């Protein structure tokens, strides 16, 4: 079931008596970490209300194709692109016919034409309808088109007959949906990543910060999610959009970032990557009001902030812990020391003395060090570097 974590399932519901079971299916999919959006045919709306499906999925239910307001919100092409899997449960005999023959006469049928995602159907109908030669011919066409067929099961039916045509139970559908997806490098793992700078307030309008843009951490979050992980991104103040499939926690001060990280580790995570440039010090006192210009000199006293990555590494529920070291000289030697002193599993280090890598740049180059080995990741975009680093982490984590 881990394979469904973060997967985007577009659940199509068609007009059959088993439509009520789609409500349970939504819950089951969400329970295993999938994101679910529901599309219903007009027929399905006669059996179960869109309101029920909306309440369960937590998102608006899509029912009509030729509706300008719906198109302006999340249009059919956008929905078709959004999906990792289009799952139609129950699939009526009528819908199977439409799907087999490429009809685009309602939202769900059009979505199926427009999507590049795999399509799976869980047929549900009276045993005679299932055995009918038209339905069986349509089934062959659907199989030839590569559409996955889940079930149907057989047994006693709502109409009082006995035979093949019952929709599989939601748990069985869930199992088969999971098998559509391959295991990925970080399938089923929870990865926590910190990113960006922190801001340490001097007074209500002034603060100490640094040049970190958060780009490296955000790229890593995206790469980890693409590798199948559940990702929590703990971000300092940055101006970046949240990568898709990533849960973001926004913080400002180092102490807030520390609290958010400790909470994530307490709750249990598998990998922790500290890319944030956390302020080492904060003003001992934050003035309640704006400090006025008066004397020639003012003195600011600073106090040390907690060391987040070291605290994570010595936690009883310690995840695989990866640190970052941005240095301007003796880069590798300093990182080696940090790896040992902070008891990290891996450290990624970069030279931020130039402007073509590191802070704020779109590119980076890293030397990744772990006990007994290292690898150089030469200059590339932060997205490419992130992918390579996630691969290294996944390999080392398994060792
Ligand atoms: C009470 C009732 C139950 C039905 N149950 C089913 C069913 O289980 N499977 C099916 O294929 N059609 C069933 N039908 C027929 C479909 O609702 C009908 O073919 C409809 O046009 C399907 O529309 P859709 O495929 O666009 O959702 C049922 C009809 C009624 C009146």
Task: For residue 209, tell me if it sits in a domain.
Answer: yes
pLDDT tens for the chain, residues 1 to 399:
678 988 999 999 999 999 999 999 999 999 998 999 999 999 999 999 999 999 999 999 999 887 777 777 778 888 999 999 999 999 999 999 999 999 999 999 999 999 999 999 999 999 999 999 999 999 999 999 999 999 999 888 787 888 889 999 999 999 999 999 988 899 989 999 999 999 999 999 999 999 899 999 999 999 999 999 999 999 999 999 999 899 999 999 999 999 999 999 999 999 999 999 999 999 999 999 999 988 899 999 999 999 999 999 999 999 999 999 887 778 788 889 999 999 999 999 987 766 565 566 788 888 999 998 999 999 899 899 999 999 999 999 976
C-alpha 342 to ligand 1 mean position (Å): 63
Find the 179 Cα to ligand 1 centroid distance in Å: 28
User: What confidence score (pLDDT) does residue 156 get?
Assistant: 82
Residue whose Cα lies nearest atom 4 of ligand 1: it is: 16
- Statement to judge: residues 209 and 266 lie in one domain: yes
Residues 163 and 37 in one domain: yes
Q: 14 CB less than 6 Å from ligand 1?
A: yes
- CA–CA gap between residue 180 and residue 162 (Å, rounded): 30
Say how many Å lie between the CA of residue 139 and the centre of ligand 1: 17
Mark whether 140 and 16 lie in a shared domain: yes
114 with 138, same domain?
yes
269 is catalytic: no
pTM: 0.78
DSSP letter at 310 equals H
For residue 183, tell me if it sits in a domain: no
Task: Identify whether residues 13 and 51 lie together within a single domain.
Answer: yes
Q: Is the minimum distance from the CB of 361 to ligand 1 under 6 angstroms?
A: no
Residue 185 in domain? no
CA dist., res. 310 & res. 258, Å (int): 11
Whether residues 250 and 317 share a domain: the answer is yes
- Of 117, 143, 178, which residue sits at a domain end? 178
Is the residue at 184 inside a domain?
no
Structural domain contains residue 350? yes
Q: Are residues 171 and 199 in the same domain?
A: no
Q: What is the pLDDT of residue 48?
A: 96
Please report the DSSP string for 357-381 in residue order: SSTT-SEEEEEEEETTEEEEEEEEE
Residues 223, 343, single domain; the answer is yes
Domain presence at residue 25 = yes
CA of 159 to the centre of ligand 1 (A): 12
Q: Is the minimum distance from the CB of 129 to ligand 1 under 6 angstroms?
A: yes
Say whether both 113 and 260 belong to one domain. Answer: no
How much is the pLDDT for 183? 86
Where among 125, 145, 178 does a domain terminate? 178
What is the bridge-based pairing of β-strands 200-203 and 206-208?
antiparallel
170 Cα to the center of ligand 1, angstroms: 19
Ligand 1 lined by 41 (C-beta under 6 Å): yes
In ligand 1, which atom is closest to the CA atom of 91? 11
Number of structural domains, the chain?
A: 2
Residue 359 pLDDT: 62
Question: Kind and range of the H or E element at 128?
Answer: helix 127-131
What pLDDT is stored for residue 74 in this prediction? Answer: 73
* Residue 119 β-bridge partners: 86
Q: What number does the ligand 1 atom closest to the CA of 46 have?
A: 17
Residues 13 and 46 in one domain: yes
Q: Are residues 8 and 144 in the same domain?
A: yes
Among 12, 43, 135, residue to substitute to test ligand 1 (most atoms within 8 Å of Cβ): 43
Q: What is the CATH number of the domain that holds 109?
A: 3.40.50.1950
pLDDT of residue 32: 92
Q: Which residue is listed with tokens 């926690």?
A: 249
CATH number of the domain where residue 290 is located: 3.40.50.10300
What DSSP string describes 330-353?
Answer: SHHHHHHHHHHHTT-SEEEEEE-S
Q: Does the beta carbon of 127 sit less than 6 angstroms from any atom of ligand 1?
A: no
Confirm or reject: Cβ of 152 under 6 Å from ligand 1: no
Q: Find the domain containing 12 and state its range.
A: 2-178
Q: Which long-range contacts (CB under 8 A, 24 or more apart) does 66-72 make?
A: none
Return the best residue to mutate from 11, 16, 138 for the ligand 1 pocket (most ligand atoms within 8 A of CB).
16
- Which of 150, 178, 206 finishes a domain? 178
Q: Residue whose CA is closest, atom 31 of ligand 1?
A: 16
- 213 and 122 within one domain: no
């Amino acid at each position: 079931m881990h394979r469904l974590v973060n997967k985007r399932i577009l659940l199509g519901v068609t007009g059959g008596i088993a439509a009520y079971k789609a409500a349970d299916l939504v819950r089951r999919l969400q329970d295993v970490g999938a994101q679910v959006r529901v599309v219903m045919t007009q027929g399905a709306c006669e059996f179960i209300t869109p309101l029920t499906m909306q309440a369960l999925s937590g998102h608006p239910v899509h029912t009509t194709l030729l509706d300008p307001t719906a198109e302006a919100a999340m249009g059919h092409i956008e929905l078709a692109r959004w999906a990792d899997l289009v799952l139609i449960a129950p699939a009526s005999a009528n819908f199977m016919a439409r799907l087999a023959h490429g009809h685009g006469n309602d939202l769900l049928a059009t979505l199926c034409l427009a999507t590049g995602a795999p399509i799976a159907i869980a047929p549900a109908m009276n045993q005679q309808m299932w055995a009918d030669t038209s339905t069986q011919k349509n089934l062959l066409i659907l199989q030839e088109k590569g559409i996955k067929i889940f079930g149907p099961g057989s047994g006693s039916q709502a109409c009082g007959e006995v035979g093949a045509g019952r929709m599989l139970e939601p748990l069985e559908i869930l199992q088969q949906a999971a098998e559509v997806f391959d295991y990925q490098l970080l399938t089923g793992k929870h990865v926590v990543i910190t990113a960006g700078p922190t801001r340490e307030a001097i007074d209500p309008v002034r603060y100490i910060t640094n040049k970190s843009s958060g780009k490296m951490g955000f790229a890593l979050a995206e790469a980890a999610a693409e590798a199948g992980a559940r990702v929590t991104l703990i971000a300092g103040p940055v101006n970046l959009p949240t990568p898709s499939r990533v849960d973001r926690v926004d913080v400002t001060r180092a102490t807030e970032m520390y609290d958010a990280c400790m909470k994530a580790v307490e709750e249990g995570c598998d990998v922790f990557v500290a890319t944030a440039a956390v302020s080492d010090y904060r003003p001992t006192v934050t003035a309640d009001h704006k400090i006025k210009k008066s004397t020639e000199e003012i003195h600011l006293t600073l106090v040390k902030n907690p060391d987040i990555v070291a605290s994570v590494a010595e936690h009883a529920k310690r995840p695989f812990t990866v640190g970052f070291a941005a240095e301007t000289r003796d880069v590798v030697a300093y990182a080696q020391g940090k790896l040992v002193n902070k008891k990290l599993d891996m450290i990624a280090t970069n030279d931020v003395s130039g402007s073509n890598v590191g802070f704020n740049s779109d590119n980076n180059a890293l030397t990744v060090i772990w006990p007994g080995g290292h690898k150089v990741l030469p200059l590339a975009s932060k997205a490419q570097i992130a992918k390579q680093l996630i691969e290294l982490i996944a390999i080392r984590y398994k060792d």
